[in-house]
Structure 1
């Protein structure tokens, strides 16, 4: 890099142009961090202190919250630096570690969601077969994290800071955090291909399992309603003495319905909650996967679009952050116990 004052001024001005270009995305990222970090901290406090004895159904809530919180810090930091110091990225090691960390938390999240889908499938579709106990869940958690750490080690070699040249404003050289080898490199292609295959397999597995779960919940709910109606009809047909008997029959039916809902409702509600979490994660990562594939085969992709299209594409490219900030809101929608504990927590401050 040229060390003259003119060159330094030109480099700063060039970087400022990128900062202005990414300003809208910077604001969105900061807004997401302000929502996601307190939300995940609240999840960690509630589930670790007040819902810790709620059984295996909520076991993965805490690991997911820690992964999401870590993901917000890593991806938020990486993208904010990229936005504000686009061509003056501060350090090769910083770039490598942030990129490696972002890939690890993304893979860990998907692997955990896959294990959760298997667990929910067993509880809903195979309730009388052998279930995952606490030991099995802990081992699964360790395997997911360890495999994510090992799988993404190649990113430490293929990504880092690389020089970039401004061909419009003169002979000015900057430094960006990006691939340090061409996309045609065999090792890089193999790493990206393996990632694509594993991600696709995860998505197919999660989707298939939750389709089976949703079908079972639908059939169970419909069968339960049919049995309840048949029970009421049977009691009403035998109620030949007085209206009181009919009322008692209806009362007994209500009790049966309440007992049935209390036994199965919680399991089904948690399954639906994790289904929404999984599909939200897939939807948030899908645009990024598409853009990664485009970037691999078209190096000038980001330079050939209009400003409005660029802003939309940047948002979609980094939409994976949504996966790390949305879960607390989903817990609040579907987990009654979590919502109740939040109300008690805030009421205690009044």
Structure 2
């Protein structure tokens, strides 16, 4: 048989199976991704616009940087995943798969380190308020370090030649998918994914321990304040400190819960034949594999839940009202209150 005719036949067969799986089995995951895109783009842009106008401080600078990364994920990660869906069996560009997935891995790792940095900042403020803190002068160095670590740990995804996953479509035709391919992957790539899984578990444990210590310290401080009648003196700064802690805890919890299915899936489905799954199981699997994207669209809802000023600014944007700039002169972090209370040895 003529080689060109064979190639055309294979291409048409892949396209046929690709169209079938998109119409019959990938509708729910595609709708899921489109909803995340519609929510994530305006949500993260609103964070960047609103918090850009707040007083400059370490807390705001870190979450603003996280919002930038989340926006990049919405602009690159979600469209790329949609592209993988629409070309499920017909994704033949290995290098584009490796490069974009490597960029996404770098973003995930960078966001993780920024969350750890935010947690350490809260931990140090709450548990050691009289010691030297992370400041606006040096926080940029910490942020750059987080980004550098993320890029460095994402390079193996690009450098290691991970093959495209192959699926036998019948009639000697093979479908190519940009997804995890454990069976035919080099050992170096497998070791790399084992390392990322360990890193995720380690950082989740670190966040869990630090927030237990933060919660314990806040509980003890509240008891002392009530007994010493310091509520009037430090009430406002305490409320704001607790608000920031709640936001940081919730952001970290969403990160852990949304990323967990991704790592569980990589190990639990290594030998799974997707073609044997029913429609519901297949759709659920494809959504679970992309559950980590929730972490990059959920933060606006978290801030709106705990930050009254953020809700007010969102309302102003939606109703096209002039932004109230009084909050620009109001302390939006506990850094200023920490300095005040440090003189009286009161913990914030």
2:174 is paired with a residue whose SS is strand
1:268 is paired with a residue whose SS is helix
277-286 or 199-208: which moved more? 199-208
Q: Matched residues in 2 for 1:58 and 1:69: separation?
A: 16
2:179 is paired with a residue whose SS is strand
Match of 2:77 in 1: 75
For structure 2, list consecutive stretches of 5 or more residues without a partner in the other structure: 323-348
Select 1:47's aligned residue among 42, 51, 68.
51
Q: Matched residues in 2 for 1:45 and 1:8: separation?
A: 46
Whether 1:136 and 2:138 are equivalent positions in the alignment is: yes
Q: Matched residues in 1 for 2:168 and 2:276: separation?
A: 16
Match of 2:68 in 1: 66
For structure 1, list consecutive stretches of 5 or more residues without a partner in the other structure: 229-255
Structure 1 residues 285 and 180: CA distance shift in structure 2, 3 A: closer
182-191 or 195-204: which moved more? 182-191
1:175 is paired with a residue whose SS is strand
Query: In the alignment, is the contact (CA less than 8 A) between 1:74 and 1:101 conserved in 2?
Result: no
Q: Matched residues in 2 for 1:153 and 1:16: separation?
A: 33
Q: Matched residues in 1 for 2:5 and 2:179: separation?
A: 23
Q: CA deviation at 1:90?
A: 5.7
Q: CA deviation at 1:91?
A: 2.6
1:225-264 equivalence runs, <5 A: 225-228=226-229, 257-264=231-238
1:300 is paired with a residue whose SS is coil
Q: CA deviation at 1:329?
A: 0.9
Q: CA deviation at 1:84?
A: 0.8
Select 1:329's aligned residue among 301, 318, 321.
301
Structure 1 residues 142 and 267: CA distance shift in structure 2, 3 A: same
Aligned pair count reads 318
Instruction: Tell which structure's C-alpha radius of gyration is larger.
Output: 1
RMSD between superposed Cα atoms in Å: 2.3
What whole-Å deviation, never above 9, does each CA across 1:137-166 have from its counterpart, x for those lacking one?
111111111111111211113355637353
1:87-98 equivalence runs, <5 A: 87-89=89-91, 91-98=93-100
> Could you state the TM-score of these two structures normalised by the residue count of structure 2?
0.84
Match of 2:164 in 1: 162
Match of 2:109 in 1: 107
1:173 is paired with a residue whose SS is strand
What whole-Å deviation, never above 9, does each CA across 1:285-317 have from its counterpart, x for those lacking one?
00101011224xx33343443322222222222
Whether 1:16 and 2:19 are equivalent positions in the alignment is: yes
Q: Matched residues in 2 for 1:11 and 1:81: separation?
A: 16
Q: Matched residues in 2 for 1:117 and 1:16: separation?
A: 46
Match of 1:252 in 2: none
1:267-306 equivalence runs, <5 A: 267-295=241-269, 298-306=270-278
> Could you state the TM-score of these two structures normalised by the residue count of structure 1?
0.83
What whole-Å deviation, never above 9, does each CA across 1:4-24 have from its counterpart, x for those lacking one?
554443221110122121111
Match of 1:310 in 2: 282
Q: CA deviation at 1:3?
A: 4.3
Query: In the alignment, is the contact (CA less than 8 A) between 1:161 and 1:176 conserved in 2?
Result: no
Match of 2:325 in 1: none
Match of 1:201 in 2: 202
